[in-house]
Structure 1
Amino acid sequence: MRSIRYERFGEPSDVLFLEEREKPRPGPGEALVRLRLRSINPADLLQVRGLYGQLPQLPATAGMEGVGVVEELGEGVGEGTGPAVGSRVMPLGSPAWQEYACVKAAALLPIPDAMPDRVAAQAFVNPVTAWLMTVEELKLKQGGTVLVTAAGSALGRIVIQLSRRLGFKVIGTVRRAAQADELMALGAHAVVSTADEDLRGRVLELTGGRGADGAIEAVGGAVGAAAASALAPGGTMLVYGLMSGEPIPVPVSDMIFKSLRIRGFWLADWARTAPEDVRRAVISEVFGLLAQGEIDLPVSAVYDLADIRDAVVAAESSGRPGKVLLGG
Structure 2
Amino acid sequence: MKALRFQQPGDPLAVLTLEEVALAEPGPGEVRLRMVARPINPSDLLQVQGVYGRKPPLSATAGLEGLGVIEAIGEGVSGWALGQCVVPMGAQGTWAEALITPASNLFPVPDGLADEQAAQAVVNPLTAWLMADQLGLGEGHWLIQSAAASAVGRCLIQLAKLRGFKVLCLVRHEAAVQDLMEAGADAALCTGDPEWMKQATALLPEGAHAAVDAVGGALGGDMVKLLRPGGTMLVYGALSMEPLQLPGGQLIFRTATVRGFWLTDWKKRAAPQERDRAMTELLAAMGAGKITIPVEASYPLEAWREAIAHAQRSGRRGKVLIR
Q: What SS class does the counterpart of residue 302 from structure 2 fall into?
A: helix
CA contact (8 A) 2:70 2:81 kept: yes
Distance in 1 between residues matched to 2:262 and 2:196, nearest whole Å: 25
Q: What SS class does the counterpart of residue 170 from structure 1 fall into?
A: strand
Gaps of 5+ in 2: none
Check if 1:82 corresponds to 2:79: yes
Q: What SS class does the counterpart of residue 165 from structure 1 fall into?
A: helix
Q: What SS class does the counterpart of residue 51 from structure 2 fall into?
A: coil
Distance in 2 between residues matched to 1:92 and 1:183, nearest whole Å: 29
Residue-by-residue CA offset, 1:93-122 (whole Å, 9 max, x unaligned): 332110111221111111112211110100
Q: Which residue of 2 aligns with 1:145?
A: 142
Q: Which residue of 1 aligns with 2:322?
A: 326
CA contact (8 A) 1:6 1:60 kept: yes
Q: Which residue of 1 aligns with 2:113?
A: 115
Q: Which residue of 1 aligns with 2:124?
A: 126
Residue-by-residue CA offset, 1:45-71 (whole Å, 9 max, x unaligned): 111111111101111100010001111
- Identity, % of aligned positions: 46
Q: Which residue of 1 aligns with 2:239?
A: 243
Q: Which residue of 1 aligns with 2:38?
A: 38
Q: Which residue of 1 aligns with 2:305?
A: 309
Distance in 1 between residues matched to 2:103 and 2:130, nearest whole Å: 25
Gaps of 5+ in 1: none
Q: Which residue of 1 aligns with 2:277?
A: 281
Displacement of 1:73 after TM fit?
Answer: 1.2
Q: What SS class does the counterpart of residue 101 from structure 1 fall into?
A: strand
Distance in 2 between residues matched to 1:197 and 1:143, nearest whole Å: 28
Runs of 4+ in 1 over 4 A off after TM superposition: none
Q: Which residue of 2 aligns with 1:29?
A: 29
Residue-by-residue CA offset, 1:190-245 (whole Å, 9 max, x unaligned): 111101143432222112x1111110101111111111111111110100011100
Aligned residues: 322
Displacement of 1:292 after TM fit?
Answer: 0.3
* 1:1-328 to 2 correspondences below 5 Å: 1-77=1-77, 81-94=78-91, 95-134=93-132, 136-207=133-204, 209-327=205-323
Q: What SS class does the counterpart of residue 43 from structure 2 fall into?
A: helix
CA contact (8 A) 1:163 1:169 kept: yes
Change (3 A) 1:173 1:116: same
Distance in 2 between residues matched to 1:284 and 1:108, nearest whole Å: 11
Q: TM-score, normalised by structure 2?
A: 0.97
